[in-house]
Structure 1
């Protein structure tokens, strides 16, 4: 969903038009919208109050107040979206009441009624040309957006449940002795850097309890690191599927492709 707020003059003209439109209905507006009418009438258009909704369909549309420059800019953006095969809806009800917004504004909406009864926004943003200046910085053209992370996760969970299936982890690193703690972190970082899922016991519980954690995490392999392994520069790796154990040097981990190939044979 996309719209534009135009430039400062467009916004002021639209502000005045909204005031002229809503003023005759002032006594029938909600208390919040009465306050907004004095300070920021654009925010009335976002109202969810039933008292206000009856007046919204007849409210002026900002697209009717665009000057030539603002309209040309908006048309250029729409043309680019068309050329890139990006679907969009010109939404005249889409506005922003915050002063730092300028020009184009947009929202990504989910219209799947199996998830929500009505369309729901999961991402919204636009041009922020006045934002840096409002924080005492230099005038800086900008664009940005905010995501409703929880909503996005709900959508993903509904539309692609396989993403949320518990597939376990690749490695659980068990360790014994305070002197091994740093090495455990180094190994975990190295494994993760190679795109592998790795965990270790930050609570430093007894070895038996750590193996139970590995089982609960559905780990494929368990690395055991103690004082002797640290001294010898080796790692014992157990494949939990069949109990087979492997022995690698610390240096072997620099070639994780070869290590993983051997572990999976």
Structure 2
């Protein structure tokens, strides 16, 4: 039996996990500045949440969900995306009744989609997402896009392209839908099986087809922008005005559609234009979804959000040769030589330093002194504390600053405070 990770999944090893942690911490700081609060939802939901929330006509629901029956015969699904789960939590926990509106949420979550694995697209994927529920102000659309763009820019990315479109309100979409059906119906038999089904279920999704994208009918398909009513036009103009005020560059692309049924009005994608990034250039995508909360049993509540793939974020950083400022050095390493008494004293000291906020490690391989110093070097330790029989008898410890090579003796009873001053400025553990 081959004991390998399942197809479409990867192990995130410590050397890579440090990059994830740095990016997550940066994003949390940005979300705090934008006054978003974290939400955590279950890994699986009742299947109906995604059938109703994402849409029966989507590829996700039709082809990509990991769905199973539990022992009670209930149909459950590993979450394939984040918005429907957050919307369900919003309704169930009556967050629409909170005094502070709109409700601004963010999440880090693992998603599961059964699709063909390729670079940057896995069956178990990691996503950062935000949702704003309770406001139909176009300024909120611009704020959500601003948060996404700020995230990429503060992580150092420069080769970015923001593409936006309007899918219009219910009336605009209905008129556009009829025009699409009339346009594609004469070519129906020339389209792939998926598009033939989409034409009756959700014709807007035909425009997003990868199989038929070069079909001549695609190039002459009616644009949604031709069918926007005055209210939808005004809304889209305001979104663009706010983005311009924020000095955020964008391109209006009438062919941009999103793969989920719940979108209306603003839709957007952020893409990487870095050389060598790959064929799939999308880094993040989202849009407005007024009506989703009602679909899940809640009151009429407008919403907007986006999802950002973490794997693709790290790919983009690599494509632009951006090295995150990771600090992998160790505060101090204890070299302990001698009897069991020395080992016990070293173990006690490790504990005391850690509870005082100092990062510390010691040898657990019974190495000689030379081997322990080599380990300290591999860990890029700032200080090495040398403890032996003589040091214990004299109640001191040798402290070597590795960068300068300076070595001094410190009374054992003072070592914690000394290192707190050197490493933490006297603050200690908080």
Q: TM-score normalised by the shorter chain: which range applies?
A: 0.7 to 0.9
The residue aligned with 1:258 is: 425
Kindly state the Cα deviation for residue 143 of structure 1 after the two structures are TM-superposed: 2.1
Whichever of the two has the greater Rg, that structure is: 1
Deviation string, structure 1 residues 41-85 (Cα, Å, up to 9, x no partner): 222211111x44313211111111111111101101111222222
CA RMSD of aligned residues (A): 3.6
Q: 1:94 aligns with which of 256, 277, 292?
A: 256
Q: Distance in 1 between matches of 2:193 and 2:332?
A: 58
Give the match for residue 244 of structure 1: 407
Tell me: CA distance 1:216–1:31, structure 2 relative to 1, closer, same or farther (3 Å).
farther
Paired position in structure 2 for 1:161: 322
User: Are 1:5 and 2:162 counterparts?
Assistant: no
Match of 2:209 in 1: 47
Is residue 2:291 matched to residue 1:133? no
| TM-score (ref. length: structure 2) | 0.48
Query: In 1, are the aligned partners of 2:350 and 2:360 still within 8 Å (CA)?
Result: no
Structure 2 distance, partners of 1:42, 1:106, is: 15
Deviations 1:9-66 (A, max 9, x none): 22222222222211111111112212222222222211111x4431321111111111
Unaligned 5+ runs, structure 2: 1-162, 336-342, 388-395
TM-score, L = length of structure 1:
0.73
1:145 corresponds to which of 306, 328, 340: 306
Distance 1:182 1:249, change over 3 A: closer
For the residue of structure 1 that corresponds to 2:219, the secondary structure is coil
Question: 1:1-265, aligned counterparts within 5 Å?
Answer: 1-49=163-211, 51-54=212-215, 55-112=217-274, 114-116=275-277, 120-163=281-324, 168-172=328-332, 186-187=355-356, 190=357, 198=359, 200=361, 205-206=364-365, 208=367, 213-222=375-384, 238-241=400-403, 242=405, 244=407, 247=410, 248=414, 250=416, 253=420, 257-258=424-425
- Given that 2:333 and 2:381 are in contact with CA atoms closer than 8 Å, whether structure 1 keeps it comes out as no
Once the 2 structures are TM-superposed, how far is the Cα of residue 210 of structure 1 from its aligned partner? 7.2
Q: Give the distance between the partners of 2:167 and 2:286, measured in 1 at CA.
A: 12
- C-alpha deviation, 1:88, in angstroms: 0.4
CA deviations 1:95-143 (Å, max 9, x no partner) are 124232222111111123x223657111111123333334433433322
Deviation of 1:161 (Å): 3.4
Instruction: Provide closer, same or farther for how the CA distance between residues 167 and 181 of structure 1 changes in structure 2, counting only shifts above 3 A.
Output: closer
Alpha-carbon distance between aligned partners in 2 of 1:235 and 1:15, rounded to the nearest angstrom:
78
Tell me the number of residue pairs that the alignment of Structure 1 and Structure 2 aligns. 241
Are residues 146 and 205 of structure 1, via their aligned partners in 2, closer, same or farther at CA, if it must alter by over 3 Å? same
Whole-Å Cα distance in 2 between the matches of residues 236 and 38 of structure 1?
Answer: 78
